Amino acid sequence: MSTKEPVVLSVGVIGRGLIGSEVLDQITSEKGRLLNERGIDIRIVAISDIDKQLNVVEGLPLGADWKAAWEATTTAPGFENFDKTMLAAANGVVVDCTASAFIANRYALWLGKGLHVVTPNKKAGSGDLKYFKEVKASQGTGGHFMYECTVGAGLPIIDSIQGLLDTGDKIKTIEGIFSGTLSYIFNTFDGSEPFSAVVSAARKQGFTEPDPRDDLNGLDVARKVVILARECGMDVEIADVPIESLVAPELAKLKTAEEYLAKLPDFDGEFKSKFDEAKANGEVLRYVGSVDAANKQVSVKLRRFPTTHPFAGLAGADNIVQITTERYSPPTGQPLVVRGPGAGAAVTAAGVFYDVLRLAHRLGCSSANPNPKL
């Protein structure tokens, strides 16, 4: 172990769903190794939901015991208690594993008080543009805003874009398959089964939201497109994104997912026609989000690609992004392509965990200023 003093990170996790629980499990599993081998001392100081909070006594060995401790606690947070806990700790890191706009609306406050925020929550990055700029500006007071996992789960997409821009490259276009659900559906939809059967099977296997319309309407992809467009300097709101929804208006009006799935076969012919037309031209169907930074345009829609295109070779629920820049561009070169698992609690949590570790390295690199600007 290094003789250098360990970098202490006091982590408060909000949200105990699949991702939040996995983040806690991964941290508690690796914290001993990280301290001994990397000099990173991660301490869980709070676990919170909207309705209650567990304050963890420093040094308490959590492991799987955090779940039992959580069930036993009845402390209501009100978030005053949570904030007090985090502000009193060394290098407080708020890890927001919710999809809550209410929690996202606290980021500027936390960052302004010197706390760090790590999150896969897309609500701040794709929400009101004025507030997003406020969040980014709040970093200057000491806190870091780490949001790699808002796009592509654990894939290094935002970090790659920031690296390109920091070195003086110019982004031309960003195109990608950003939904693990829609990736799976169109990788599987080969004409042998009706589209409705593919969607139902995806739901049964847990690849979709409980209501598949929440995936098929394209809104989640649009949020990711907004985040990427803003990374390129575009002042884009979600309302500015033309979205081709895969949910017919009459199906969108139905009250339940079961009603939707019962009526979806009525539209199998429409999807089969699109598939057949693409196949006849040696192409495949893919649901793609696009940022045309050069022309300041964004879109989310179902597109056709030749079978030789990188988007045609995906498997399962993989995500892929193709970034074309002045340096990474034909004819002198090729676009930068990042591909890998784009869904799942384990890979998303690992991406969140990695952001926490990147934060530790940033804090450890400047002893003169423990909270440097990004």
Q: How would you write 22-63 as a 3-class SS string?
A: HHHHHHHHHHHHHHHHHCEEEEEEEEECCCCEEECCCCCCCC
Q: Are residues 216 and 98 in the same domain?
A: no
Q: Are residues 138 and 198 in the same domain?
A: no
User: Does pLDDT of 348 surpass 60?
Assistant: yes
Segment 190-238, tens digit of pLDDT: 999 999 999 999 999 888 999 999 999 999 999 999 999 999 999 999 9
Mean pLDDT, residues 148-169 taken together: 94
Q: Are residues 329 and 205 in the same domain?
A: yes
Mean pLDDT, residues 337-360 taken together: 91
Number of residues assigned to the chain: 374
> Would you call 373 a catalytic residue per the annotation?
no
Q: Is residue 1 domain-resident?
A: no
Q: Are residues 144 and 191 in the same domain?
A: no
Q: Are residues 226 and 103 in the same domain?
A: no
165 class by beta-carbon count within 10 Å (0-12 exposed, 13-18 middle, 19+ buried)? middle
Q: Are residues 94 and 204 in the same domain?
A: no
Note if the bond before 331 is cis, omega within 30 degrees.
yes
Segment 38-89, tens digit of pLDDT: 999 999 988 988 778 887 755 445 555 777 778 777 776 667 888 888 999 9
Q: Is residue 369 domain-resident?
A: no
Q: Is residue 373 domain-resident?
A: no
130, 224, 253, 255: which is the annotated catalytic residue? 224
CA 300 to chain CA mean position, Å = 17
Q: Are residues 284 and 141 in the same domain?
A: no
The domain that contains 179 carries what CATH number? 3.30.360.10
The domain that contains 47 carries what CATH number? 3.40.50.720
Q: Is residue 105 domain-resident?
A: yes
Q: Are residues 134 and 273 in the same domain?
A: no
User: Does pLDDT of 29 surpass 60?
Assistant: yes
3-state SS assignment for residue 302: strand
Q: Are residues 182 and 72 in the same domain?
A: no
Q: Are residues 96 and 206 in the same domain?
A: no
- pTM for the model stands at 0.91
Q: How many domains does the chain have?
A: 2
Dihedral of the alpha carbons of 125, 229, 206, 261, in degrees to the nearest 10: 110
Q: Is residue 253 domain-resident?
A: yes
Segment 299-314, tens digit of pLDDT: 999 999 999 999 999 9
CA 107 to chain CA mean position, Å = 16
Q: Is residue 372 domain-resident?
A: no
Show the tokens assigned to 338.
């990042």
pLDDT band at 368 (very low <50, low <70, confident <90, very high): very low
Q: Are residues 110 and 79 in the same domain?
A: yes
Q: Is residue 374 domain-resident?
A: no
Q: Is residue 198 domain-resident?
A: yes
Q: Where are the alpha helices (DSSP H) in the chain?
A: 18-33, 65-72, 80-88, 101-104, 107-112, 123-126, 129-138, 157-166, 180-188, 195-204, 213-216, 219-231, 249-252, 257-263, 268-280, 345-364
User: Does pLDDT of 130 surpass 60?
Assistant: yes
Q: Are residues 112 and 37 in the same domain?
A: yes
Listed in sequence order, the residues at least 6 apart from 139 whose beta carbon sits closer than 8 Å to its beta carbon are 111, 145, 373, 374
What residues make up the domain containing 145? 7-153+347-364
